[in-house]
């Protein structure tokens, strides 16, 4: 008995005499390294083109050193600026009124800005939060060498705006490269002279309104694509394969056409003197003076984007409808269920994963669109993405653009999380 137990406890070995456990561990480790090396190019691509830009965007939304650091374009050398004023801010707590030493520090920094040819940079950073500040800095820097004590009176003689408490509050905030003010601006909020967060004036409340419009139009477009795509996908799923493949080509045809071409085509169709209005007038449905206004408003944005995003709803729905066995509905009908009951309780629940996938895909694409709303939407049909593009390309306020984009990204992640909690991401089917 003891010999059998001893033989059973003997270590298992491979053909070459190595312990089996170690050989299996070595083989698994080799397989894992091989798999990692295979996905390494894709991982590097995602990190470089996706993760790194997002990380840079998030940093840019809270970091702007335009008031504290000057970078020479030619040499790339970084030079601290506004050093004297920054020192005064550190030595004096918030709420302290600027005195003669504060203005003397400002005058010394203006001389340095003139030497570095950087007054516009420092002024632009302040101008992001207080309009008109850039010209204030450039004008003062041109005459900085001629300023004499008392510096407070000398600067006030140049421009009385140098005594504005709001200007000094903004300069104090900008003396630190890291700030949350861009997120406040992205939510139509600012700080008062005491540092409390308040809403901006009603005539300057733009971003919250655009976020609400973006959310509403994206949900509306998602719903319309679902209403249009469901019967199309069902038809593709029940037709014979040779016919459904032909119709699938028509569904995929927009992907082979430039987005700009599709958008401009809708402009031709929807404009006041376009094909749709001409047809309605020619048929006598509308009078020539009562042409429909379908361009440069929300209606044009909804129509064009619904057409462009429709295939992204059709494909996920088709992928879950095709495998559904039609005998399930026939069995429900044979047991006495009406057509509506059989559809509602048997067929429709099996398509929910495709509906969720299509809705999530269309909504995410809709909130980020900016070419189509910019061309056909006008002022009333533009989305928050259009304003992000404006700050990136026109105003060059990249920090505010990054803050807006970060809030948009956060909203999408929250939506993704809610979908996972309510429906389950495991039930999502894209194909």
C-alpha pair distances (Å), 307 with each of 4, 263, 274, 299, 300: 76, 10, 18, 13, 11
Residue 10: per-residue pLDDT: 63
Mean pLDDT (the chain) is 89
Q: Is residue 46 part of a domain?
A: yes
Say whether both 160 and 119 belong to one domain.
yes
Helix H, strand E, coil C: the string for 359-392 is: HHHHHHHHHCCCHHHHHHHCCCCCCHHHHHHHHH
Confidence of residue 313 (pLDDT cuts 50, 70, 90): very high
The rounded distance, in Å, linking the Cα atoms of 418 and 414 is 6
Name the residue with tokens 């619904």.
306
Name the residue with tokens 């800005």.
113
Residue 431: per-residue pLDDT: 52
| Cβ neighbour number for residue 355 with a 10 Å cutoff | 20
Cα–Cα nearest to 316, from 348, 344, 349, 355: 355
Say whether both 84 and 224 belong to one domain.
no
R_g of the chain computed on alpha carbons: 32
Asked whether the beta carbons of 376 and 383 are under 8 A apart, the reply is no
Backbone torsion region of residue 215, taken as left when φ is above 0, otherwise alpha when ψ lies between -120 and 50, otherwise beta: alpha
Sign (positive/negative) of CA torsion 236, 239, 241, 242?
negative
Residue 112: per-residue pLDDT: 95
Say whether both 407 and 325 belong to one domain.
yes
Residue that is last in its domain, among 179, 194, 228: 179
Q: Is the pLDDT of residue 428 over 70?
A: no
**DSSP character for 295?**
S
Range of the domain at 321: 207-427
Asked whether the beta carbons of 379 and 182 are under 8 A apart, the reply is no
List, in sequence order, every residue forming a beta bridge with 190; answer none if it has no partner: 198
Q: Is residue 131 part of a domain?
A: yes
- Assigned token pair, 285: 């449905």
Q: Is the pLDDT of residue 219 over 90?
A: yes
The rounded distance, in Å, linking the Cα atoms of 169 and 88 is 13
- Assigned token pair, 31: 């397989």
- Assigned token pair, 230: 């469901």
Q: Is residue 3 part of a domain?
A: no
Cα–Cα nearest to 262, from 161, 153, 376, 343: 376
Q: What is the pTM of this model?
A: 0.86
Residue that is last in its domain, among 60, 78, 93: 60
Say whether both 220 and 313 belong to one domain.
yes
Asked whether the beta carbons of 396 and 66 are under 8 A apart, the reply is no
Say whether both 220 and 364 belong to one domain.
yes
C-alpha pair distances (Å), 234 with each of 229, 323, 379, 414: 8, 11, 38, 31
**152 or 14, greater pLDDT:** 152
Asked whether the beta carbons of 126 and 133 are under 8 A apart, the reply is yes
Q: Is the pLDDT of residue 193 over 50?
A: yes
Say whether both 215 and 338 belong to one domain.
yes
Say whether both 234 and 367 belong to one domain.
yes
| Number of alpha carbons in the 13 Å side-chain half-sphere of residue 246 | 4
Q: Is residue 195 part of a domain?
A: no
Say whether both 363 and 238 belong to one domain.
yes
Say whether both 222 and 324 belong to one domain.
yes
Q: Is residue 194 part of a domain?
A: no
Asked whether the beta carbons of 147 and 114 are under 8 A apart, the reply is no
For the chain, percent helix, then strand, then coil, each to nearest 5? Answer: 70, 5, 25
Say whether both 135 and 32 belong to one domain.
no
The rounded distance, in Å, linking the Cα atoms of 374 and 305 is 12
Least confident of 173-177, 201-205, 242-246, 418-422: 418-422
List, in sequence order, every residue forming a beta bridge with 13; answer none if it has no partner: 19
Cα–Cα nearest to 98, from 156, 174, 138, 142: 156
Peptide bond into 198 cis (omega under 30): no
Say whether both 50 and 76 belong to one domain.
no
Q: Is residue 254 part of a domain?
A: yes
pLDDT tens, position by position, 380-416: 888 999 999 999 999 889 999 999 999 999 999 998 8
Q: Is the pLDDT of residue 338 over 70?
A: yes
CATH of the domain at 417: 1.10.3720.10
C-alpha pair distances (Å), 182 with each of 119, 128, 296, 321, 367: 21, 9, 30, 46, 21
CB-based contacts of 25, cutoff 8 Å, min separation 6: none
Confidence of residue 79 (pLDDT cuts 50, 70, 90): very high
Q: Is residue 197 part of a domain?
A: no
Say whether both 103 and 223 belong to one domain.
no
Q: Is the pLDDT of residue 4 over 60?
A: no
Q: Is residue 7 part of a domain?
A: no
Confidence of residue 1 (pLDDT cuts 50, 70, 90): very low
Q: Is the pLDDT of residue 117 over 60?
A: yes
Q: Is the pLDDT of residue 425 over 80?
A: no
Q: Is the pLDDT of residue 7 over 70?
A: no
Residue count of the chain: 431
Q: What is the number of structural domains in the chain? A: 3
């Amino acid at each position: 008995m003891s010999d059998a137990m001893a033989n059973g406890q003997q270590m298992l070995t491979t053909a070459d005499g190595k312990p089996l456990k170690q050989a299996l561990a070595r083989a698994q480790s080799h397989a894992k390294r091989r798999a990692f090396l295979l996905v390494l190019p894709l991982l590097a691509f995602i990190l470089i083109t996706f993760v790194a830009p997002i990380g840079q965007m998030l940093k840019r939304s809270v970091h702007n050193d335009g008031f504290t650091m000057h970078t020479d374009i030619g040499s790339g050398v970084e030079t601290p600026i506004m050093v004297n004023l920054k020192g005064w801010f550190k030595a004096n707590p918030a709420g302290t009124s600027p005195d003669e030493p504060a203005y003397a520090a400002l005058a010394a920094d203006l001389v340095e800005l003139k030497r570095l040819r950087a007054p516009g940079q420092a002024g632009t950073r302040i101008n992001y939060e207080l309009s008109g500040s850039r010209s204030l800095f450039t004008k003062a820097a041109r005459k900085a060498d001629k300023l004499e004590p008392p510096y407070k009176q000398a600067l006030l003689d140049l421009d009385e705006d140098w005594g504005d408490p709001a200007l000094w509050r903004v300069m104090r905030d900008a003396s630190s490269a890291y700030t949350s003010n861009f997120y406040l601006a992205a939510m139509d909020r600012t700080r008062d002279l005491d540092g409390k967060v308040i809403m901006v004036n009603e005539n300057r409340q733009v971003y919250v309104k655009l976020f609400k419009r973006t959310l509403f139009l994206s949900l509306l477009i998602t719903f319309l694509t679902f209403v249009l795509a469901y019967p199309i996908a069902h038809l593709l799923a029940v037709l014979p394969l040779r016919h459904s493949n032909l119709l699938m080509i028509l569904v995929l045809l927009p992907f082979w056409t430039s987005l700009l071409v599709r958008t401009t085509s809708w402009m031709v169709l929807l404009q006041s003197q376009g094909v749709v209005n001409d047809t309605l007038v020619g048929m006598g449905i509308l009078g020539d003076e009562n042409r429909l206004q379908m361009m440069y408003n929300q209606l044009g944005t909804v129509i064009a984007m619904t057409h462009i995003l429709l295939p992204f709803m059709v494909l996920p729905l088709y992928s879950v409808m095709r495998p559904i066995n039609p005998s399930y509905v026939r069995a429900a009908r044979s047991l006495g269920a009406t057509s509506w009951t059989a559809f509602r309780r048997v067929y429709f629940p099996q398509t929910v994963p495709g509906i969720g996938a299509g809705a999530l895909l269309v909504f995410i694409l809709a909130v980020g669109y900016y070419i189509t709303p910019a061309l056909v939407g006008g002022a009333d049909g533009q989305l928050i993405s259009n304003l992000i593009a404006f700050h990136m390309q026109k105003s060059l306020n990249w920090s505010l653009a990054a803050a807006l984009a970060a809030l948009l990204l956060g909203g999408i992640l929250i939506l993704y999380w809610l979908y996972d909690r309510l429906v389950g991401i495991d039930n999502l089917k894209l194909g």
